[in-house]
Amino acid sequence: MTVYGDGKQTRSFQYIHDLIDGMIALMNSNETRPVNIGNGEEYSIGEFAELVRDIVEKVQKEDGVKLDKRVQIVYKPIPTDDPQKRRPDTSRANESLEWQPCWSVHMGLEEMVRYYKAKMAEGSL
């Protein structure tokens, strides 16, 4: 798995279920100002890569797949225009819509891994 930079740059990830719920809450509100429907959980890219690797390994082990070795995380030079930090301010969504994300990054990643594993098993990928 390739990570560009030292892995310390941060990002916030949102699961689609939360985005849809947030958009529905916004459409059903009287709010006219811009509202950031995001997830304020912040992860370093290095932490995120390790989490992806751990979840994929967990799902494989549950199916009895024997792993010979761990997937290596390879660090390469970071592009010059890559931001060091990205974290949305979701305070307006919380205050105005009484909305906040329900899905953790771990939950969303695990559901995604299981979905794609099933699709691969049925041959539709």
Angle at alpha carbon of residue 36, lines to 30 and 40, rounded to 5°:
135
pLDDT of residue 115: 94
Reduced to 3 states (helix: H, G, I; strand: E, B; else coil), residue 11 is strand
Among 35, 51, 32, which Cα is nearest to 43's? 51
Query: What would the pLDDT profile of 89-117 be if each residue is shown by its tens digit?
Result: 999 999 999 999 999 999 999 999 999 99
Alpha-carbon distance 52 to 56, whole Å? Answer: 6
Q: What is the pLDDT of residue 80?
A: 87
Go through the domains of the chain in sequence order and give each one's CATH number: 2-121 (3.90.25.10)
Q: What is the pLDDT of residue 46?
A: 96
Confidence of residue 52 (pLDDT cuts 50, 70, 90): very high
CA–chain centroid gap for 88, Å, is 13
Burial (CB < 10 A; 0-12, 13-18, 19+), residue 69, is exposed
Question: Rounded mean pLDDT of 20-45?
Answer: 95
Q: How many CB atoms lie within 10 A of CB 37?
A: 22
Residue type at 99 in one-letter notation: W
Whether the pLDDT of residue 13 is over 90: the answer is yes
